[in-house]
């Protein structure tokens, strides 16, 4: 079986994109990144993708005004032209219409900086700190029309420390993001996932019974 053809959609610095590109360099990785597409012409990630020899493209939404679907049809044409099979959203800051989500049903992943279904939406780290949670993290999930919902492929948890700021917590979560996004893509592209209602079943070894306890106890 050949490698799945993957496009990554970004709007910004693209550190998750970079992690996916790095992972896909492994000869046994079941996916190849064939396109990085941005809705922002000067998104930092575009240069990183180009430096890695990956085709980049900007499709700006402005010319389409309020017609979100027309903007998405333009993106969709570019994806189809390259025989893209899987789409990874990686800091892509445009809400997608049900039409676009339907086109990529079961074939589009997103990464969210929280342990869903907690902290959907924005400012997840600020909100987690305000609530005083002791464990936070990130989630890779299939995209469905409802924002920050959809079958969960993988999650990474990190401890929250008393002296954390939104920035220090974001940095810790981001390290988890980079690991789980690459591994989740490996599972999905490798055919090791199966959708079962609202859940995603994964044919991968489950974690041992280690408990993550935070704060640490001796
Ligand atoms: C990440 O925190 C991701 O979880 C969220 O947007 C941020 C993108 O960061 N969806 P980067 O562009 O991948 O560095």
Do the domains at 1-104 and 111-207 have one common CATH topology?
A: yes
C-alpha 37/C-alpha 41 separation (Å) is 10
CA of 81 to the centre of ligand 1 (A): 26
CA of 192 to the centre of ligand 1 (A): 25
For ligand 1, whether the C-beta of 15 sits within 6 Å is yes
Which residue CA neighbors atom 5 of ligand 1 most closely? 91
Q: What topology does CATH give the domain 1-104?
A: Rossmann fold (3.40.50)
pLDDT by residue (tens digit) across 49-86? Answer: 999 999 999 999 999 999 999 999 999 999 999 999 99
Two structure tokens written together for 82: 């390259």
- Residue 209: per-residue pLDDT: 75
Tell me, yes or no, if 112 is annotated catalytic. Answer: yes
Residue 207 has pLDDT above 80, yes or no: no
112, 125, 136, 178: which is the annotated catalytic residue? 112
Delimit the domains of the chain by residue range. Answer: 1-104, 111-207
- Residue 206: per-residue pLDDT: 79
pTM of the model: 0.97
User: What percent of the chain is predicted at pLDDT more than 70?
Assistant: 100
- Residue 92: per-residue pLDDT: 98
Domain 111-207 has CATH 1.10.1240.10: no
* Best probe residue, ligand 1, of 37, 110, 111 (max atoms within 8 Å of C-beta): 111
């Amino acid at each position: 079986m050949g490698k799945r053809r993957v496009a990554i959609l970004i709007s910004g610095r693209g550190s998750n994109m970079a992690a996916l590109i790095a992972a896909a360099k492994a000869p046994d990785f079941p996916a190849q990144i064939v396109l990085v597409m941005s809705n922002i012409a000067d998104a930092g990630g575009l240069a990183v993708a180009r430096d890695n020899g990956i085709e980049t493209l900007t499709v700006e939404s402005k010319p389409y005004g309020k017609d979100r679907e027309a903007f998405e049809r333009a993106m969709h044409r570019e994806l189809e032209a390259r025989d893209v099979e899987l789409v990874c959203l990686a800091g892509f800051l445009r809400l997608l219409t049900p039409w676009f989500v339907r086109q990529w049903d079961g074939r589009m992943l997103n990464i969210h900086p929280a342990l869903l279904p907690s902290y959907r939406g924005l400012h997840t780290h600020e909100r987690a700190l305000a609530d005083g949670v002791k464990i936070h993290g990130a989630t890779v999930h299939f995209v469905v029309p409802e924002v920050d919902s959809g079958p969960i492929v993988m999650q990474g948890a990190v401890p929250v420390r008393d002296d954390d700021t939104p920035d220090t917590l974001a940095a810790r979560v981001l390290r988890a993001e980079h690991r789980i996004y690459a591994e989740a893509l490996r599972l999905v592209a490798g055919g090791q996932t199966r959708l079962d209602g609202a859940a995603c079943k994964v044919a991968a070894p489950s974690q041992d019974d280690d408990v993550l306890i935070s704060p640490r106890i001796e």
